[in-house]
Structure 1
Amino acid sequence: MGLINFISGKLGKGEPIEVVFHRDGKPMEQNHVRRVFKRVLKRAGIRELRFHDICHTFASLLLSNGEGVGRFI
């Protein structure tokens, strides 16, 4: 599936567009990203953590350093 079709399908359903890409430029399935992330956490000895939690941590760090988050959204 090409990127244009992928994004068009998401927009048509009113879904948010959150995309991570393979090296070949094709979008990864959300479950693949989640599985890899959980495997990395386990290997690193980190308790269960949602990928979304990292986004909030990043935003909090930006704000605590006087930066705005608007340009990253």
Structure 2
Amino acid sequence: MAKAGHIDWTPIRRRIPMGRLGQPEDVADAVFFLASSDASYVNGSILCVDGGWTLFSDAECHELDDEYLAEVAGWL
């Protein structure tokens, strides 16, 4: 809950197996890997860079629709 401009991220972090919110570097690392020759055999896949959020969720990464994303954005 937000109190006077403060957001308590604890409930959200508890739902993320990595125990922390993602950082831009987390996405950048995934992009770097996919752009490298190490990922030459990776194709036709959806890579969720979410700290395991969808691992313990009833939603698949590609099923995150606008309504769900708006709900998550409301937590911010």
Work out whether the TM-score is over 0.5. no
Q: TM-score, normalised by structure 2?
A: 0.29
Structure with the larger helix share: 1
Q: Which has the higher contact order (CA 8 A, sep 6+)?
A: 2
